[in-house]
Amino acid sequence: MQLIVNGQSHDLDADPQMPLLWALRDLLGLTGTKYGCGIAQCGACTVHMDGMAVRACQITLAEVGGEITTIEGLGTPEAPHPVQAAWIAGQVAQCGYCQSGQIMQAAALLSLNAEPDDAAIDAAMSGNLCRCATYPRIRAAIRDAALRMGGV
Amino acid sequence: MARIGRIARRGFLIGSVAVAGGVAFGAWRYARPLPDPFAGSGERALNPYVLIDAEGVTLVAPRADKGQGARWLQAALIAEELDIDPATARIVPGPVSPTYYNRALIADFLPFAPTDTGWLAETARSAADIPARLLGWQMTGGSSSTADGFDKLREAGAVARETLKEAAARRHGLSRADLNTEDGAVLLPDGRRIPYPDLAVEAAALEPVTDIVLRDRSQWRWLGKPMARADVVAKSTGRQVYGIDLTLPEMLHATVRMAPWGGTVARLDPVAAESLPGVLRVLPIDGGVAVLARDTWSAMRAAAALDVDFAGPDRPGDQDAIWAGLAAAHEAGDIDSRKRDDGDVDAAIGAGDLTAEYRAPFLAHAPMEPMNATVLVADGACTIWAGTQVPDFAVARAAALTGLPETAIRLENQMIGGSFGRRLEIDFIEQAVQVAMAVPGRPVKLTWTREEDFAHDQARPAQIARMRGRVTADGVQALDLTVASPSVIASWFGRVSSAPPGPDVSITTGAWDQPLAIPNFRVTGLRAPETVPVSSWRSVGASTNGFFLGTALDEMFAAGGIDPMEGLLRLCDHEPSRAVLEALRDLSGWTGRQAGPGRGRGVAFCLSFGVPCAEVVEVEETPLGLRLTAAFAVADVGIVLDPVNAEAQLSGGMLFGLGHAMNCELTYRGHRPDQTNYHAHEGLRMHQTPETAVRLLENGPLRGLGEPGVPPAAAALGNAIFAATGQRLREMPFARGVRFA
């Protein structure tokens, strides 16, 4: 089956019931998208489907209905997305395992709401668990990213 | 250490065995240096922490990084003296070797309070060098990496730097004193720069220069200043490879379904699972069943479909029976330890004085990265790729399982996506080794489901504490605290190695050792029998004792009409701790418990891992429930080596403590927790996170900060809830007693 990930088309010979998460990780080698819970409770597997934040553990390959963007496709170490740049400048990550999902969720939030207030940030981000509790820096990085994106 | 393997094949043999071990580990104090961890592999390191070849400088950071920033800080300690920007060096975890023993951690096992700087305590701590060396533990834990590495990693960098200078001096007929170093190069008097790699071969032929003087911190270029951790870029762009992300050619995937710890597989019918697509084999392993498949999802799907029954161990495994066992330990009163017994509490406390009982629940570590390990067994050797805090225990177990000598086991430590103590356990590595043994020549990556992680965590122990106390308007006169708990040390050692004899002082750590001048003060530990497996959970004994003692003191202050900040300051007899409390009073704008209608503040203090830490939490009542509006923390780590990360550790530790105190517990039924995934054990989420402010002081000895932010948090929150509502919470999680917004 056909899958467009980060602008590239892939022809996958896989069980259509396989969750997108595992196709990305095991079949395409895109391991930036993380497995955390498998039941949409942690958000570590958040990717974009046609720009919307979705949990890759909950979408089977048969259900994929749009172009997928993963953390690897959002930006690179050399050319980070403004959200990634804000995350780096704010030194958000501790263990970092949830941060791919946090960043994808935040990027989707900012694409819909260029100036989210604290309530909007809380509402959008509360599905993304961080066991290191980096939340204060996540909040600050989202505000910073909003400024960076507004300035472009 | 693939890179070192490549170096060996290219024949870049640099360094010398005589260099290795000696200087970096202070071996001048001993007759024989520690073993060179690269010896016998045809490889040579300039010293065990620095490796330089034609391509650049590699810094070896042997303490595991589970998010606390240890890998970066170890590199920065070396780099500061080596004169190289740590961001330009390769940073590797290094091989498993007794040479990387952890002196600071062993020192914390000694029976002296961290504030005891008397002659006997200091002598015993310095003697800890010897047992640590004999045990050779390369353990990461106990917030010890910073204290352990501070001198020896800088010494390693300085020795390397001076030896490189000596090599340059000889090449150019100059004196070493005429040379300088900067940004990875030796500077000649005429301004020419010789990059370190150009000198590596010549430096390797020299006796190392060991007459070094470590630089004063006023000369530091990186340490003590805001640094940008190299891993943060990788972690923000999806490029960081954790153990779970490892991909090897020909790799197979596996997962497990395990019996409760100590239990067995009672019945197994593999046919249904084996018939699912992608599944290669169902194989019994010790205490459970593994599924081997072509991809992770196929393995997990088949494991869920396994037709298997387990039998639990012959121990209580239900929550009610576990609480009853803890209560029974109080009734029996068999003392495991009594390390504090000042004055005469029995004479001082009488009828009518305060009594209370507190409960702390089992808690899961549940780090974001599920347990995983990749293992290849081939050609009489076994290679393990796994994130672990105890690599030498893992190697020993792998040797026992495979029947191979320990020299045939190679472990490559991986970047870890959180631990909180979970990766002090090696169960997932033992399982992966067994699966890999069934398919020699093929690497196998074993990945746990989150459900397996909850079912098979070795939890923070449930505990019951009882207090009796006497307070007058003049202050706290007497406090008798008794804590009943299963032994973390016995449970954990029993799994990874062998249990040591003697009391488990961790049962009362964070209580008996506090710098509080209560005239009559007694702390007693009671050991309850082991029921379900328990282990170290971020800040270990202090995580619960900080709650018990911090709440007990607040109850007494309230009964005596004493402001709790003032009350703590009056009791505190340790200058760095007093300074922490005073700084917290200022940072939080403390004006008392009350902060307006429906608003309250709580304060708590705990000295753990040698770090005094105090926290204030503010809560307000809202129509949706209690909301945390602010949280403040102050701690003293002696020297703040990495200020950006230290702030994150302190803030994160406090929030970790708050989230679990509010929301989390494991309750067992038939040896398994009712909580199967994050929905039932959330910790903290964004919407419940208060604004935080933290401050770090530098008055005490150098210590680490991975854990000390945790212990005061629960008591500070419970005390704030009391201030706001009048309701005293003596049992965690607090969500059992109040509603949070």
- Residue B456 is given by DSSP the state T
In this structure, what is the dihedral angle of CA atoms B649, B680, A36, B446, given to the nearest 10 degrees?
Answer: 110
Question: Do residues A143 and A99 both lie within one domain?
Answer: yes
Q: What is the pLDDT of residue B111?
A: 54
* A81 and A95 housed in the same domain: yes
Last residue of a domain, one of A73, A92, A114: A73
- The domain boundary, picked from A73, A94, A109, lies at A73
Q: Which residue did the predictor score with more confidence, A81 or A150?
A: A81
Q: In terms of domains, do B386 and B466 share one?
A: no
Least-confidence region, from B144-148, B222-226, B373-377, B419-423: B144-148
B357 and B414 belong to one structural domain: no
Q: Chain B window 133-192: which residues touch A at a Cβ cutoff of 8 Å?
A: none
Q: Are residues B514 and B622 in the same domain?
A: yes
If one compares B325 and B13, the residue with the highest pLDDT of the two is B325
Task: Write the CATH number for B481.
Answer: 3.30.365.10
Total domains present in chain B? 3
Q: What is the pLDDT of residues B669-715, one digit of tens each?
A: 999 999 999 999 999 999 999 999 999 999 999 999 999 999 999 99
Q: Which member of A26, A38, A88 has the closest CB to residue B232?
A: A88
Residue B180 and residue B187 in contact, taking contact as beta carbons nearer than 8 Å: yes
Structure tokens at B111: 């029976």
pLDDT at B561 over 80: yes
Tokens 């090449």 found at: B171
- Domains contained in chain A, number: 2
What average pLDDT score do residues B178-187 get? 96
Three-state SS at B464: strand
Q: Tell me the three state secondary structure of residue A54.
A: strand
The beta-strand segments (E) located in B262-408 are 264-269, 279-285, 288-293, 307-311, 335-342, 354-360, 372-378, 381-386
Q: Which of A24, A57, A73 is the last residue of a domain?
A: A73
Lowest-pLDDT range of A90-94, A138-142, B114-118, B298-302? B114-118
Q: How many CB atoms lie within 10 A of CB B685?
A: 20
Say whether both B470 and B513 belong to one domain.
yes
Would residue B111 count as lying in a domain?
A: no
Helices B643-663 and A135-151: angle between axes, nearest 10 degrees: 120
Question: Which runs of E-coded beta strand occur in chain A?
Answer: 2-5, 8-11, 46-49, 52-55, 68-69
User: B369–A34: do the CB atoms touch at under 8 Å?
Assistant: yes
Q: Which helix (H) or strand (E) holds B410?
A: strand B409-413
> Per residue in B281-313, pLDDT tens?
999 999 999 999 999 999 999 999 999 999 999
Q: Does A27 touch chain B (CB under 8 A)?
A: yes
B250: domain range? 244-313+371-447
pLDDT band of B95, cuts 50, 70, 90: low
Q: What is the pTM of this model?
A: 0.93
CATH number at residue A84: 1.10.150.120
Mean pLDDT of chain B: 89
- Using the 3D structure, point to which of B186, B207, B236 is the last residue of a domain: B236
pLDDT of the residue at B128: 53
| pLDDT cut 90: percent of chain B above it | 76
> Are residues A116 and A55 located together in one domain of the fold?
no
Q: Which of A121-135, B485-499, B595-609 has the lowest mean pLDDT?
A: B485-499
Same-domain pairing of A81 and A144: yes
Q: Which of B447, B468, B502 is the last residue of a domain?
A: B447
Let me know whether B255 and B358 are in one domain: no
Residue B626 belongs to some domain of the structure: yes
**B 54-93 → A contacts, CB under 8 A:** 66-69
Burial class (CB in 10 A: 0-12, 13-18, 19+), B695: middle
Q: Which two tokens stand for residue A151?
A: 């300035």
Residue B96's SS3 state is coil
| pLDDT on residue B140 | 75
pLDDT digits (tens, 9 = 90+) for B399-409: 999 999 998 99
* pLDDT per residue as tens digits for the range A6-40: 999 999 999 999 999 999 999 999 999 999 999 99
pLDDT over 70, % of chain A: 99
Q: For position A43, which CATH number holds?
A: 3.10.20.30
Higher pLDDT: B163 or B118? It is B163
The answer to whether the CB atoms of B651 and A133 lie below 8 A apart is yes
Q: Does B238 sit within 8 Å of A39, measured CB to CB? A: no
Shared domain check, B512 and B399: no
In terms of pLDDT, which residue wins out, B137 or B87?
A: B87
Q: Please, are residues A4 and A20 in contact by the beta-carbon 8 Å criterion?
A: no
Query: Do residues A79 and A122 both lie within one domain?
Result: yes
Q: Which residue has the higher pLDDT, B11 or B193?
A: B193
Contact: B447, A35; criterion CB under 8 Å: yes
Instruction: Tell me how far apart the alpha carbons of residues B525 and B512 are, in angstroms, rounded to a whole number.
Output: 9
Q: Is the pLDDT of residue B77 over 90?
A: yes
Of A34-48, B175-189, B485-499, B505-519, the one with minimum mean pLDDT is B485-499
CA gap B694, B242 in Å, rounded: 30
ipTM over 0.90: yes
A80 CB within 8 Å of a chain B CB: yes
A68 and A88, same structural domain? no
Q: Is A130's Cβ below 8 Å from some Cβ in B?
A: yes
Quick one: tokens of B145? 């990496």
Using CA atoms, how far apart are residues B448 and B459, in angstroms rounded to an integer?
17
Of B388, B413, B447, which marks where a domain is finished?
A: B447
Decide if A125 and B686 are in contact by the 8 Å CB cutoff. Answer: yes
> How large is the average pLDDT for residues B251-276?
96
Residues A135 and A84 in one domain: yes
**Separation in Å, CA of A104 to nearest CA in chain B:** 10
Note whether B193 and B146 are same-domain residues.
Answer: yes
**Closest partner CB to A95 (pick from B417, B449, B655):** B417
Tell whether B417 is within 8 A of chain A (Cβ): yes
Distances, alpha carbon B73 to alpha carbons B78, B324, B528, B640, B668, in Å:
9, 45, 39, 11, 39
Judge whether A33 and A56 are in contact, CB under 8 Å. yes
Share of chain B above pLDDT 70, in %: 88
* Contacts of residue B434, Cβ cutoff 8 Å, sequence gap at least 6: B285, B286, B290, B401
**Whether residue B529 is found in the same domain as residue B412:** no
Nearest to B614 by CA among B533, B739, B713, B702: B713
Answer whether A62 touches B (CB < 8 Å).
Answer: no
* Chain A residues inside the 8 Å CB shell of B652: 94, 132-134
pLDDT for residue B145: 81
Cβ–Cβ below 8 Å for B277 and A15 = yes
Kindly state whether residue B339 falls inside one of the protein's structural domains.
yes
Considering the domain architecture, whether residues B174 and B228 belong to the same structural domain is answered as: yes
Which of B686, B694, B717 has the most A C-beta neighbours within 10 Å, making it the best mutation to test the interface with A? B686
Its domain, for residue A6, covers 2-73
Q: Is A67 on the interface with B (CB under 8 A)?
A: no
Q: Are residues A101 and A143 in the same domain?
A: yes
Query: In this structure, are B377 and B407 located in the same domain?
Result: yes
**Terminal-residue alpha carbon distance, chain A:** 37
Domain presence at residue B684: yes
Q: Does A145 touch chain B (CB under 8 A)?
A: no
With 90 as the cut, is the pLDDT of residue B170 above it? yes
